[in-house]
Structure 1
């Protein structure tokens, strides 16, 4: 039995989320500009998406561009936006062949017009795919997401559309960018950093966390399978004790 088949036969996360970190440092180690790292990170995205689809993971969410990333040098931001457009065009075939539906969360309208147009086009052309849902977090920040949800709920309370007593976790979920997606089961972060960086703060409440020193451009199928094996060896208790689970 191959390692892929071995992992597939075990317990898998329904929703896998990844903070793709380390492109810039990967490029710097090679004496290149940071954008070189972003360009090489595209291959890691493709391999990760294809492997997750093979494993029949239902939902994969990638932290592609944060609200804070707008503060980076203009050349780097412009390159990232161009990469987004070209990657969407190139990967449509891969998404279709693997029955993957594309989704996006964040302040998507703040992206350049060409990127928004391309994103909408690929989302439209994959909307009937019923395999894995691939979500790109673009111009995304969890605090902004929660703030937006609170504002929307506040407006509904003010206009007597909903009473404060009716607001529960389910109602809050319905006002987040991720409405319709299940909570995250496993969060992976590459590059050796041990922080969440404003990513899916509400949705990872009970997620298992996995950190690896591997920079994102070097992250491959073997590294993903190692993370999934670690997940399968953990006991998820959700506040209970082991005896209750057994």
Structure 2
């Protein structure tokens, strides 16, 4: 598919990992493992398709409410998956950034994240962002506080690029505090498939649907031979 027909920035709410495993009579952690493999395939497919930015919602600030054992397993999975995939990211020119709070993450994971970000910083093929302990509302509060402290300027890192397409798997139809500012004009796609079962064919179908949408950003598309005029009584 031509790069012009795919979103520049794709954001994905990776929902349904635990439910996918439960439906198959397996432990929830097995769904998270399968979801990690799917995430790797999705990123690789996006890189081949010409997507420039991919942001994955891996762990929200609300996910701390989950059982301690599940949260601990997720952080172990983040650590092991990052370690295994670093070479692949470097090989394919993919830059990695982690967004969200870091003060509540395990210290070893924070160090590993910083090292991976530094080593992949030169990647230009695709910028992969993974949201961990992330809340869009918190991110906006922090940005507004920095603006206020700087008398109207926004110092430091700018906000993320605008999202062109937001995809949520798992059958839910909500944003769940994810990239609320960046999704102001995003096209939305909701799939009933659980994230571990998301295929590249599913992704291509979403891209094809996206390519057919008319993104006007509040304006209208006027053809060369069309006359745009006010009603007679309004002239």
Structures share fold, TM-score greater than 0.5: yes
Q: Per-residue deviation at 1:71?
A: 1.0
Is residue 219 from structure 1 mapped to residue 198 from structure 2 by the alignment?
Answer: yes
Where structure 2 has 5 or more consecutive residues not aligned to the other structure, the ranges are 227-235
Other structure's SS at 1:193 match: coil
Is residue 202 from structure 1 mapped to residue 196 from structure 2 by the alignment?
Answer: no
Question: What whole-Å deviation, never above 9, does each CA across 1:76-122 have from its counterpart, x for those lacking one?
Answer: 00000000000001111221121100011111232111111111111
Please report the TM-score for the alignment, with normalisation by the length of structure 1. 0.86
> In proportion to residue count, which structure has more helix?
1
Higher alpha-carbon deviation: 195-204 or 118-127: 118-127
Paired position in structure 2 for 1:47? 41
Between structure 1 and structure 2, the one with the greater Rg is 2
The whole-number CA distance in structure 2 between the counterparts of 1:9 and 1:93 is 25
10, 13, 36: which is aligned to 1:16?
Answer: 10
Paired position in structure 2 for 1:4? none
Question: What whole-Å deviation, never above 9, does each CA across 1:62-81 have from its counterpart, x for those lacking one?
Answer: 00110001111000000000
The whole-number CA distance in structure 2 between the counterparts of 1:108 and 1:58 is 25
Q: CA RMSD in A?
A: 1.8
Check conservation: 2:16, 2:169, Cα contact below 8 A.
yes
Equivalent residues in 2 for 1:71-220 (5 A)? 71-157=65-151, 162=152, 171=154, 179=158, 181-220=160-199
The whole-number CA distance in structure 2 between the counterparts of 1:149 and 1:180 is 8
Q: Per-residue deviation at 1:244?
A: 6.8
Question: What whole-Å deviation, never above 9, does each CA across 1:199-228 have from its counterpart, x for those lacking one?
Answer: 000000000000001100001211111111
The whole-number CA distance in structure 2 between the counterparts of 1:221 and 1:114 is 33
Q: Aligned pairs, how many?
A: 225
Q: Per-residue deviation at 1:10?
A: 4.6
The whole-number CA distance in structure 1 between the counterparts of 2:187 and 2:59 is 22
Please report the TM-score for the alignment, with normalisation by the length of structure 2. 0.90
The whole-number CA distance in structure 2 between the counterparts of 1:183 and 1:34 is 33
The whole-number CA distance in structure 2 between the counterparts of 1:209 and 1:229 is 13
Question: Any runs of at least 4 consecutive aligned residues in structure 1 with deviations exceeding 3 A, and if so which?
Answer: none
Question: What whole-Å deviation, never above 9, does each CA across 1:170-197 have from its counterpart, x for those lacking one?
Answer: x4xx66x7x2632000000001100000
Other structure's SS at 1:43 match: helix
Paired position in structure 2 for 1:59? 53
Other structure's SS at 1:24 match: helix
Other structure's SS at 2:103 match: helix
Check conservation: 2:3, 2:50, Cα contact below 8 A.
no
Change (3 A) 1:244 1:109: farther
Where structure 1 has 5 or more consecutive residues not aligned to the other structure, the ranges are 1-6
